[in-house]
């Protein structure tokens, strides 16, 4: 697995992940300029493209993402399910928010 280059910062808020035709409420756990990690009970396989809806500065910002890693809550002992999501073509609002949070 490739080593992460973008600095990450812990940030907690609710976001929506859309997998096919279903929406799932997830908890954002950290953020960088290239992606996010979320806690969820819904398993999504790696490399699947999904939609992400995040509120930034009071506005709902729709984005596309690709799952880069996942931990299935049903298979992980004493762990919540988690997803690492690469944001594809991040919108300016996301980049500005990530820069504000991470300081980079």
pTM, whole model, 2 decimals?
A: 0.84
Residue 1 pLDDT greater than 50, yes or no:
no
Residue 16 pLDDT greater than 50, yes or no:
yes
- Please state which CATH number belongs to domain 10-102: 2.40.10.220
Phi, psi angles (nearest 5°) of residue 32:
-140, 180
Domain range annotation of the chain: 10-102
At 26-74, the pLDDT tens digits run: 999 999 999 999 998 888 999 999 999 999 999 999 999 999 999 887 7
Interatomic CA distance for residues 65 and 90, integer angstroms: 9
């Amino acid at each position: 697995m490739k080593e992460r280059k973008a600095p990450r910062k812990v940030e907690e808020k609710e976001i929506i992940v859309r997998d096919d035709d279903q929406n799932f409420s997830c908890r954002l756990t950290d953020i960088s300029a290239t992606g996010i990690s979320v806690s969820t009970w819904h398993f999504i396989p790696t490399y699947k493209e999904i939609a992400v809806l995040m509120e930034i500065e009071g506005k709902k910002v729709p984005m596309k993402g690709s799952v880069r890693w996942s931990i299935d809550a049903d298979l992980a002992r004493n762990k919540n399910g988690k997803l690492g999501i690469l944001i594809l073509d991040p919108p300016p609002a996301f980049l500005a928010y990530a820069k504000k949070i991470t300081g980079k």
